[in-house]
Amino acid sequence: MSETFILVPGRTSKQGTGISEGKFNETYQEQINTLLMCPEDMQRLGIESKSRVRVTSEWGQIDVTVVAAKGDELPSGLLFIAYGDLSSRLMGGDTHGSGMPTSKGLDVTVEPLAG
């Protein structure tokens, strides 16, 4: 079963400090390869922390590890992923003349993966 969410990619403070250690460092890689989701949404969909989900937009899809957002970091219906290779696969190519593809407020579906 899949459900529609709004994805908001962005930068994290750990991602910013991890860049000084390199993009292939464990800290940086963990940041860009983890999807944050509201705990209530995870519970409703039967998704456990550190399990894998498939996220699909009109431009692409990714399989990613999901963890529960802390406290009230994310309201129900919103997702967060740090900018990186995976988040880029979900964005279209139109930059509207800015040089940066539209990356905020992407409509995506989330589907738990077996196993």
Q: Per residue in 27-81, pLDDT tens? A: 777 888 999 999 999 999 999 999 999 999 999 999 999 999 998 889 999 999 9
What pLDDT does residue 2 have? 76
pTM across the whole model: 0.84
Domains and CATH numbers, the chain: 3-112 (2.40.40.20)
**Residue 105 three-state SS:** coil
Q: Are 45 and 1 in contact (CB under 8 A)?
A: yes
The 3 state secondary structure assigned to 6-66 is: EEEEECCHHHHHHHHHCCCCHHHHHHHCEEEECHHHHHHHCCCCCEEEEEECCCCEEEEEE
Q: Are 35 and 84 in contact (CB under 8 A)?
A: no
- Give me 48's structure tokens: 């456990």
The DSSP result for 71-94, as a single string, is TTSS-TTEEEEESSHHHHTTS-S-
Query: What would the mean pLDDT of 79-98 be, rounded to a whole number?
Result: 79
DSSP 2: -
